[in-house]
Amino acid sequence: MRCFIAIDIDDNIRSQIGRVQRKLREMTGLTRPDVKWVDPALIHLTLKFLGEVRDADIAEVCSIVEDVADNHKGFSIDVAGIGTFGTSARVLWAGIESNDTLFALQKDLDERLCEAGWGGDKKQFSGHLTLCRIKNPRAGRILKNMIKDYGDLNLGSFSVDSICVYKSELTSSGPIYTTISRSSLQ
């Protein structure tokens, strides 16, 4: 099954993200097939994408996540700013303010999973919440230009008290995420 490990965001942040998405959609008129807006109910902070994991290995993944969670305290995350990834703007995101506790948690998780055979990430972790995936270079230019005024936007903060292992099913109507395990932080 296709899996990832993530932190859930709270309803207030989801609401703020939905508001920003609606405003950007209205201002730009961008919809499918140029962009695919992420349903705010599905937005999460991905710590590690595992890809395909054999059913027989899920218990080990969940055990590693639980061990990592047991070694980290709960903390708060500030969500601020909007930006893009890629020179031709392939992803529009809401930023996660620099947070040493989050980076330590993600690094510990990545190292433990790497030791168990789920390769380490090649690129440095960049905490973000994906607002939309951009399919068309013209749409990327429009969004990149539009968000110049959103660099200092503060969407609020939320408390992190657990990390989750999710199963991800890709369907024609969008992804379906199912919680496999939730591990509480100290």
CATH at 91: 3.90.1140.10
At 43 the pLDDT is: 97
Q: Which residues does residue 95 pair with via DSSP β-bridges, in sequence order?
A: 128
The whole domain housing 36 covers: 2-184
User: What amino acid positions are annotated as catalytic residues?
Assistant: 44, 128
Summarize pLDDT for 130-185 with one digit per residue, the tens: 999 999 999 999 999 999 888 789 999 999 999 999 999 999 888 999 999 999 99
Domain count, the chain: 1
Q: Classify residue 8 as left (phi > 0), alpha (psi -120 to 50) or beta.
A: beta
Three state DSSP letters for 86-128: CCCCCEEEEEECCCHHHHHHHHHHHHHHHHCCCCCCCCCCCCE
Neighbours of 21 (CB within 10 A): 19
Mean pLDDT of 30-44: 94
